């Protein structure tokens, strides 16, 4: 990558980071203090991608920002809300920023593009053999159904793209995990970095409902959100086009069961008759988006705390960062 260094005298600040998933550039508070009463222009000088791990680490890539020494009202303000963040489109990369051949004013770039949000979420679909996981995914993604049963081996994948609203595109990466995997030892690997799940049971076979609690505890013990809380999980009582067996016949008891077992919601579904599948997905995505917003706000706060305490420790130890 070429290094088109800005010609002005400048201070290089290597302290920001970009949260690719959340499309934010976070600028630590002590840096903002430097520019309290002045208007500065920020340039993205270098974007170094790091492997992205959504559930574990909120950070995506390091950025280097350059701050011209001269201030001018022609330059954008460092932060509009004063929270140390810039909204940044996911599609942004160093190449995008430099392609035009001129340095891009981060703030105006951000404001031009901040309307478009793009999310990628990993969603698990788990439950006993033959409960209808693959059929639900096929109905949801490919809009078809077949009576023919072919057991999934290991895991299958499907991608569903949702135009959530005019400013938000959501890609759901659906992991269709074979029912027989509950007896294997791969679920920890499959669950990694998921941000939501469906547990599916078959309303015509009560034993598939009895397994739900086992699937749920397997899930909760092996994957958590970055703040340690369980990932949102929606329970699907599938094949509701057929006569039902067990607790599913009592919706009040089902509500209680879901509360006790921390399900986000439950739905009677039919992959065959296309009942409630879109609705269930909507409920799960709504919860995931809610979590995303909350965790995002938290991590911005934490970043501030982290930066300050880090600086204090460094000062205490007489060590200063050389960046």
- Classified as helix, coil or strand, 72 is coil
Q: Which stretch binds ligand GTP (CB under 6 A): 53-61, 105-113, 146-154, 294-302?
A: 146-154
Q: Give least dist CB 15 to ligand GTP, A.
A: 48
Distance CA 278, CA 126 (A): 17
Contact 102, 152 (CB under 8 A): no
Stretch in the footprint of ligand GTP (CB under 6 A) among 266-274, 278-286, 293-301, 314-322? 266-274
Q: Is 203 in the site for ligand GTP (CB under 6 A)?
A: no
**Smallest distance, Å, CB 120 to ligand GTP?**
23
Which residues face 156 on adjacent strands? 176
Task: List all residues 6 or more positions away from 307 whose beta carbon is below 8 Å from its beta carbon.
Answer: 15, 28, 29, 30
Cα–Cα distance for residue pair 210/271, rounded to 1 Å: 21
By DSSP bridging, strand 24-26 and strand 17-19 are antiparallel
In this structure, the strands spanning 10-13 and 168-177 are unpaired
132 contact, one of Mg ion, ligand GTP, none, CB 5-8 Å limit per kind: ligand GTP
Q: How far is the CB of 50 from ligand GTP (least distance, A)?
A: 35
Q: By CB under 6 A, is residue 147 in contact with ligand GTP?
A: yes
Residues 10 and 31: their CA atoms lie apart, in Å, by 14
Residue 129 touches which of ligand GTP, Mg ion, none (Cβ within 5-8 Å per kind): ligand GTP
User: What is the smallest separation between the CB atom of 130 and ligand GTP, expressed in angstroms?
Assistant: 4
Q: Are 138 and 271 in contact (CB under 8 A)?
A: yes
Beta-strand ranges (E) seen in the chain are 10-13, 17-19, 24-26, 43-49, 61-68, 85-87, 117-127, 155-165, 168-177, 196-202, 233-238, 265-269
Q: Which 272-311 positions form the footprint of ligand GTP (CB under 6 A)?
A: 272
Binding pattern for the stretch 104-143 against ligand GTP, x by CB under 6 A and - elsewhere: -------------------------xxxxxxx--------
Query: Which helix (H) or strand (E) element contains residue 135?
Result: helix 133-137
Note whether 100 binds ligand GTP by CB under 6 A.
Answer: no
Closest contact distance (angstroms) between CB of 138 and Mg ion is 9
- DSSP-derived 3-state class of residue 183: helix
What is the closest distance, in whole angstroms, from the C-beta atom of residue 189 to ligand GTP in the complex?
17
Q: Which stretch binds ligand GTP (CB under 6 A): 8-16, 24-32, 183-191, 265-273?
A: 265-273
| Cα gap 195→301, rounded to integer Å | 21
Q: Which does 37 bind (CB under 5 to 8 A by kind): Mg ion, ligand GTP, none?
A: none
Query: Is residue 151 a contact residue for ligand GTP (CB under 6 A)?
Result: yes
Q: Which is nearer to Mg ion, 97 or 158 (CB)?
A: 158
List binders of ligand GTP among 167-196 (CB under 6 A): 178-179
Q: Which residues bind Mg ion (CB under 5 A)?
A: 134, 152
Query: Where on the chain is the footprint of ligand GTP (CB under 6 A)?
Result: 129-135, 146-147, 149, 151-152, 178-179, 238-239, 241-242, 270-272
């Amino acid at each position: 990558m070429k290094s088109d260094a800005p010609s002005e005298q400048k201070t290089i600040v290597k302290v920001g980071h970009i949260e690719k998933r959340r499309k934010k550039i976070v600028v630590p508070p002590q840096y903002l203090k430097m520019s309290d009463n002045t208007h500065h222009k920020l340039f993205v000088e270098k974007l170094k991608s790091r492997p992205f791990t959504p559930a574990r680490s909120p950070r995506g890539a390091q950025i280097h920002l350059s701050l011209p020494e001269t201030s001018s009202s022609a330059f954008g303000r460092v932060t509009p809300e004063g929270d140390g963040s810039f909204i940044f489109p996911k599609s942004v990369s160093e190449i995008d920023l430099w392609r035009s051949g001129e340095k891009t004013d981060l703030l105006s770039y951000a404001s031009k593009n901040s309307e478009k949000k793009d999310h990628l979420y990993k969603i698990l679909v788990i439950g006993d053999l033959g409960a209808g996981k693959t059929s639900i995914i096929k109905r949801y993604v490919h809009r078809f159904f077949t009576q023919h049963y072919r057991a999934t081996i290991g895991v299958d994948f499907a991608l569903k793209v949702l135009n959530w609203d005019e400013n938000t595109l959501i890609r759901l990466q659906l992991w269709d995990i074979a029912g027989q995997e509950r007896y294997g030892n791969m679920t920890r690997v499959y669950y990694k970095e998921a941000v939501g799940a469906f547990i599916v049971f078959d309303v015509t076979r009560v034993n598939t409902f009895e397994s739900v609690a086992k699937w749920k505890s397997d899930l909760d013990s092996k994957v958590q959100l970055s703040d340690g809380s369980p990932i949102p999980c929606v329970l699907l009582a599938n094949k509701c086009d057929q006569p039902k067996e067990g607790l599913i016949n009592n919706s009040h008891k089902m509500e209680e069961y879901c509360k006790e077992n921390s399900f986000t919601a439950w739905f009677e579904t039919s992959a065959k008759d296309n009942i409630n599948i879109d609705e269930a997905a909507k409920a799960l995505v709504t919860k995931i988006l809610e979590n995303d917003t909350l965790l995002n706000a938290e991590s911005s706060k934490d970043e501030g705390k982290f930066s300050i305490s880090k600086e204090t420790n460094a000062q205490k130890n007489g060590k200063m960062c050389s960046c």
